[in-house]
Structure 1
Amino acid sequence: MQSRSTPSTRAGGRPRSTEADTAILEATRQALVDLGWTKLTLGDVATRAGVAKTTLYRRWAGKSELVVDAVAELFDELELPDSGSLATDIEGVVLQFAALLGRPETKTALMAVVAESTTDEPLRERIRASIVDRQKRLVLAGRARAQDRGELPAEPDTAAAARTADLIFDVIAGAVVHRALVSAEPVDAEWAEQFTSLVLGGLSAVSGRGPTAVPSAPDTAP
């Protein structure tokens, strides 16, 4: 698991306070739940966190950057379970992801920054770098484990591996976000199992062989 609270050193040489960072990011998420994007201000966050506004401005240039980092910290909590098979690994991370999206602070913060980013290209790039690209680590870890187990073949080259990783991430993240936040349908164990079967079938088709293929319908012809 990656951490957003690793101490860093400012230009003057004094390390940043990880306690202050933690308090600020927690206060940001709570302020989003209580106030929403429009009413949230750095001054309110500073008051909630018990720090001076100058402390925030030394760390973040503005509200957009602060909120993205507050959301990114939540996504860094995601971990890929090592259950012994690719299918159960995928099911586990899907359910974990859905549970994270169900938390009020995650839902409010994510929806706010995504909506704001539609007219803010730098914010969109920050979301991509801080959340999307960083969470592709889950795909890379899961694929490496599956290859070690012999469930997936190795890709022919680095470019092909990167394209496959991007596609897997887009399919899984897109489906779970849409079901949980747009359709507002439950992401339960049954759905996760069915969705995983669909993903594995696609992986099998792309790789030529793979984990367990989606079973075909029985022949009911007389």
Structure 2
Amino acid sequence: MHSRTPAHRTGRPRSAAADTAILAATREALVELGWSKLTLGDVATRAGVAKTTLYRRWPGKYELVVDAVAELFDELQVPDRGSLAADIEGVVLQFAAILNRPEARNGLIAVVAEATRDEALRERLRASVVDRQKRLVHEGRARAERRGELPPEPDPEAAARAVDLIYDVVAGAVVHRMLVSDEPADEAWVRSFTSLLLLGLAGASRAG
């Protein structure tokens, strides 16, 4: 097993504009070239930056793609559609729409496969995508509690475990459906999945 460690950055401060251009160029290359043909040199050319600028920011191709894909998932929002069920359906449909994008699909499949044997990359994927997107569960649950749809959870540790479980169930189901089974997560499937998830949440609330 090999591992990567983040490069220590010294010298001039990072340019947000350069970062934005590099990540956008990475997604463009994933669409046009696919994972196997994507190179850091091509990304640098597309972004209009020197290769040294790119290498100062990302130690390798996998780390670059993680950050490029993470930006797509940062677009996710929990819409206020009036009920917990409708809110869940809304965010799951958004998630599915992102996974339908070739840059997300190509990049995610590649980095997840590599992360199974690269601990540092696995941690980067967890921090950049998984941990950042758990905010959606926090937001959705807080809104449901304000509506009286779910009881508050006074125990912080139990609340954190619930957030982890809900996120794992939602993300795991959608990723498996679309990237493993290669089936669509369409509105009918999302409605059925949401009904099943709500049954679990109701049971957990009664057990608590």
- Give TM-score scaled by structure 2 length: 0.90
Offset, 1:209: 7.8
Q: Whose relative contact order is higher, 1 or 2, with alpha carbons under 8 Å and at least 6 apart?
A: 2
Q: Say which of 88, 91, 105 aligns to 2:89.
A: 91
Matches within 5 A, 1:28-177: 28-177=26-175
Q: Is 1:198 matched with 2:196?
A: yes
Q: Could you list the per-position Cα deviations for residues 75-121 of structure 1 after superposition, in whole angstroms to 9, with x for gaps in the alignment?
A: 10111101121000000011111011001111101111111111111
Q: Return the alpha-carbon distance in structure 1 between the equivalents of residues 166 and 16 of structure 2.
A: 34
Residue in 2 that maps onto 1:216 = none
Preserved CA contact (<8 Å) 2:24 2:68: yes
Tell me if structure 1 keeps the 8 A contact 2:27–2:103. yes
Shift of 1:15: 4.8
Q: In the alignment, what sits opposite 2:206?
A: 208
Mean alpha-carbon deviation: is it higher for 15-24 or for 157-166?
15-24
The structure that has the greater radius of gyration is 1
Instruction: State the AA in 2 paired with 1:152.
Output: L
2-structure distance, mates of 1:21, 1:103: 21
Number of aligned residues: 200
Distance apart, 1:155 and its partner CA? 1.2
Gaps of 5+ in 1: 1-9, 211-222
Question: What letter is aligned with 1:80?
Answer: V
1:182 partner amino acid: V
How well do the aligned residues superpose, as a CA RMSD in angstroms? 1.7
Q: Is the 8 A contact 2:30 2:102 kept in 1?
A: no
Equivalent residue of 2:33, what SS? helix
Distance 1:120 1:17 in 2: 28
Counterpart of 1:20 in structure 2: which amino acid?
A
User: Please, which moves more after superposition, 184-193 or 106-115?
Assistant: 184-193
Long gaps (5+) in structure 2: 1-8
1:152–1:209 contact (8 Å) kept in structure 2: no
Q: Which moved more, 1:177-186 or 1:201-210?
A: 201-210
1:219 corresponds to which residue? none
